[in-house]
Structure 1
Amino acid sequence: MPLTDAACRNATCPPERKQARYADSGGLYLEVSASGSRRWFWKFRIEGVEKKFALGAYPGVGLAAARKARDVAKAQKAAGINPIQARQVVKLKSAVNTGDTFRETALEWYEKHRARWSSHYAIREKRNLEKDLFPHFAVRRIGEIEPIELLAALRRVEERGALDVAGRVLMTSRAVWRYAVATARAPRDITADLKGALTPHKTRHFAAITEPAKLGELIRIIRAYQGGHIVRTALQLAPMLFQRPNELRGAAWAEFDLDNALWTVPAARMKRRIEGKENGDPHLVPLSTQAVELLRKLYPLTGYSTLVFPGERSHDRPISDNTLRAALLTLGYGPDVQTVHGFRATARTLLAEVLEVDPLVIEAQLAHAVKDANGRAYNRTQYLKQRTLMMQRWADYLDELCRHELTTTRKSASGQIEPATGGGMASVVRDFLKAREGERVAQGSGHGVPLPIEKQEVPQPIEKPEGRESMAQLFAQAVAELRSK
């Protein structure tokens, strides 16, 4: 017989029992404890196991409200939802969430992950959120945002020509939505619906010369560079050591053991995640006799500084990446021909194809994350002996390319050794640079002789009559004309 309001008010627990149940209908009942407290429960079964679902305490929840709550729970069960688990999800969500807007969710995700990111990566992720996502979705509940809305935001990024950025913003969005799903803010990851929806972006690799004759030509031109001893040494070491530009530019004298021909790059300066920078091993770079000689010659000029390549305006900061790029450009090698970073690809290609060095040895020296057959990462001393021999062979090979202006060899696609011819441009370049140096000396610039250490500045441009091209422009034109012949 169903309960009445009066029966609920008068319900008690017999003294000899711990609790008593007063049934209503449809599995609903009022449970009265020995202490006098009264609570509503709904009894149901899942997979043959009896469960009870609490609906609240009487009289706060009256008979009519209890019956309504029972009906809601019955509807959930009929839909295949366990009402007990559904309630737990709501409680967990309220416990872990400070809010379910896109901004709140994204910033929470960002704060939980940024500690293991490099500062550069963290800045990029924050920029993706603030520039391309927050303006559209900041105050929207993340669970209510539709795929077409996210696509529209990404299309705006594409419309400004930043196809690569659009792809990165999508990756950031994917990470945020996965976090939202994990924290019960969103029912699913909507970014999965956008697969193939963005315009494909063709990755631009760092330009790199991989033809021996052309590389020899470039090495000769670099060695004739008159723009300053510090920059020239950096340019000479870039292809010889083939480390990342930031690692080379930021090198400190304390990292070098010239007597043992070894450069130890601290983990903190390597391209790694925060954990790798803080707890990882340093990277070892064996030095060839040629590299040691270059560094010994440079030391009297920059040994006063902690840095091997101090900047012109501040000796506490290294030369900029733009300084090396500008030097290559002055020599006639723009970013579409050869970049400083591209020397890594140059070395990787020719070491494998011409000198036939084991790719694993090359990758280890490039500081790439390689693993052995068992999936274990190689340690810092892996292949050190082979790497030492390789670095000397590579430096010797560069010397040989530099000496042979007209003929060298390279392994063809069929595996045959065939001649590869190069132009005799080095002598022309040397004559040009000597002429430019003579003009500077004649004008009293003082750059024809070594300058005191405190005056090691980038030479100022030579003043030219109105309407005439600069020497650098003439040089670049001369190089281009020689290459086209």
Structure 2
Amino acid sequence: MALTDVAVKQAKPQDKPYQLPDGESLYLEVTPAGGKRWLFRYRFNGKAGKLALGKYPTVRIAEARDKAAAARKLLADGINPGAQRKADKLAAKLSSESTFAAIAGEWHDKEKHEWSEQHAERVMTSLELHIFPYIGATPINDIKPLELLEVLRRVEKAGNLDTCKRLRQRCSSIFRLAILTGRCDSDPAAPLVDALKTPQVEHRKALNRDELPEFLHALKEMDSNRQTKLMMELMLHTFTRVGEMSMARWEEIDFDAKLWTIPPEHRKLTEKSKKSAAPHLVPLSDHALAILRELQAISGGREHIFPNRNSPNRPMSPETLRRALHRMGFKGKADVHGFRSTASTILNEEGFNPDAIERQLAHVERNRVRAAYNRAEYMEERRRMMQWWSNYVSQQQVG
């Protein structure tokens, strides 16, 4: 006799589990704790089987009967419903592990050891913000170029062309990982290069020869902290990267050898490269040494040459120099990083060895043999070059 909803609801627990048949191999099992679940018993190839169809009251009688009917249909088609259930669960698991977001996570874990912690966080945040809400839950092999293009065009239409370009590149890397691991057949991001707008390359603003006197006069007249002025001057005389300058420590300076040794961890390198890279050696001119001696009176007792005023145990922020440039009236006219271009241009025009200039700029040499050779070369030439450069800069000061 078929069960009724009232009978199921009123079924009381007993000392041992017991079943209430509904007919056609469908049962309600009641446990001593009062739990109730639907079971479907069957035989397949002569072997008994049992299929759980869900708990009551989440699964009501009508739904349990529909599930039992579906199981009987599978049996009639020669399919074991228990085996089919396992196959469906495995397919669902594989599908969830093959979504774009899941593989993006794998890619991020694989690559992040070569990035700084901040960059790794920026990469994942960009995907979470711009990509995952739209195709993150989609199986990666189901994503088509047009679908990805629509997602990227949202970023493009917002005017973020650089972000759009980087996102396409990151998506392409994720698809390539999926191809290599057998979860994707093609890279739908690859053909989108020509479908997206190309961001305009904006070079760092650099001073030319004629602008140096005006800049140095503005620096002299700037109403600012003396330490900030000295940092700007030292940047001009050494043309290092601003991150290297802000992180500089007194232990890196050898006054007797007239040398600043920048450790690999402060250089602009991938995290992986930092582990094996050599320090960057910066010959110090007499002018640079004089600036450093003045700075000793200000911060000589600190770890950093340029300590943060609010948190003296931390270095000064590179942002300080950008704000100083704005106060000097050079917003949009000059960039701190542009000092490197200014020095490089003038030194090349004056006939200095281009290889020595590149070595002084610490540009990464892509040719490994040449890089190994250049590492120890040009030091005396660079010393003369850096002294010439400091003399030249000092001669540009007017007033």
TM-score (norm 2): 0.74
Please show how residues 53-452 of structure 1 align to structure 2 within 5 Å.
99-210=97-208, 212-334=209-331, 336-353=332-349, 355-371=350-366, 376-378=371-373, 380-403=375-398, 427=399
Q: Using a 3 Å threshold, how does the CA distance of structure 1 residues 143 and 371 change in structure 2: closer, same or farther?
A: closer
- 3-state secondary structure, aligned to 1:365: helix
Shift of 1:375: 5.0
Q: Using a 3 Å threshold, how does the CA distance of structure 1 residues 376 and 298 change in structure 2: closer, same or farther?
A: closer
C-alpha distance in 1 between matches for 2:198 and 2:141: 28
C-alpha distance in 1 between matches for 2:242 and 2:371: 28
Task: State the Cα deviation string for residues 299-336 of structure 1 (Å, max 9, x = none).
Answer: 011111111111111111222222211212111111x1
Aligned-partner residue type, residue 358 of structure 2: E
Aligned-partner residue type, residue 194 of structure 1: L
C-alpha distance in 1 between matches for 2:292 and 2:377: 25
C-alpha distance in 2 between matches for 1:374 and 1:268: 23
Aligned-partner residue type, residue 391 of structure 2: D
Task: State the Cα deviation string for residues 99-120 of structure 1 (Å, max 9, x = none).
Answer: 1111111101111111122223
Consecutive aligned runs of 4 or more in structure 1 exceeding 6 Å deviation: none
Shift of 1:160: 1.2
Shift of 1:377: 4.5
Instruction: Tell me the matched-pair count.
Output: 311
Shift of 1:356: 1.6
C-alpha distance in 2 between matches for 1:345 and 1:295: 23
Task: State the Cα deviation string for residues 161-187 of structure 1 (Å, max 9, x = none).
Answer: 100100000000010000010011111
Shift of 1:130: 0.9
C-alpha distance in 2 between matches for 1:192 and 1:278: 32
Aligned-partner residue type, residue 393 of structure 2: L
C-alpha distance in 2 between matches for 1:166 and 1:371: 27
Contact 1:245 1:340 in 2 (8 A): yes
Unaligned runs of 5+ in 2: 1-77, 79-90
Shift of 1:298: 1.3
C-alpha distance in 2 between matches for 1:115 and 1:372: 23
C-alpha distance in 1 between matches for 2:96 and 2:348: 54
Shift of 1:278: 2.1
- 3-state secondary structure, aligned to 2:261: strand
C-alpha distance in 1 between matches for 2:150 and 2:354: 44
Q: Using a 3 Å threshold, how does the CA distance of structure 1 residues 186 and 263 change in structure 2: closer, same or farther?
A: same
Shift of 1:121: 2.7
Aligned-partner residue type, residue 339 of structure 1: D
C-alpha distance in 2 between matches for 1:170 and 1:378: 37
Aligned-partner residue type, residue 282 of structure 2: V
Unaligned runs of 5+ in 1: 1-64, 66-92, 404-426, 428-485
Shift of 1:399: 1.4
Q: Using a 3 Å threshold, how does the CA distance of structure 1 residues 97 and 294 change in structure 2: closer, same or farther?
A: farther
Task: State the Cα deviation string for residues 252-288 of structure 1 (Å, max 9, x = none).
Answer: 1111001211000110011111122222111111000
C-alpha distance in 2 between matches for 1:188 and 1:213: 54
Contact 1:213 1:401 in 2 (8 A): no
Contact 1:226 1:232 in 2 (8 A): no
Q: Using a 3 Å threshold, how does the CA distance of structure 1 residues 376 and 231 change in structure 2: closer, same or farther?
A: closer
RMSD across aligned C-alpha pairs, in angstroms? 2.3
Contact 1:242 1:347 in 2 (8 A): yes
Q: Using a 3 Å threshold, how does the CA distance of structure 1 residues 376 and 242 change in structure 2: closer, same or farther?
A: closer
- 3-state secondary structure, aligned to 1:285: strand
C-alpha distance in 2 between matches for 1:154 and 1:185: 22
Aligned-partner residue type, residue 229 of structure 1: R
Contact 1:118 1:272 in 2 (8 A): no
Partner of 2:15: none
- 3-state secondary structure, aligned to 2:310: coil
TM-score (norm 1): 0.61
- 3-state secondary structure, aligned to 1:190: coil
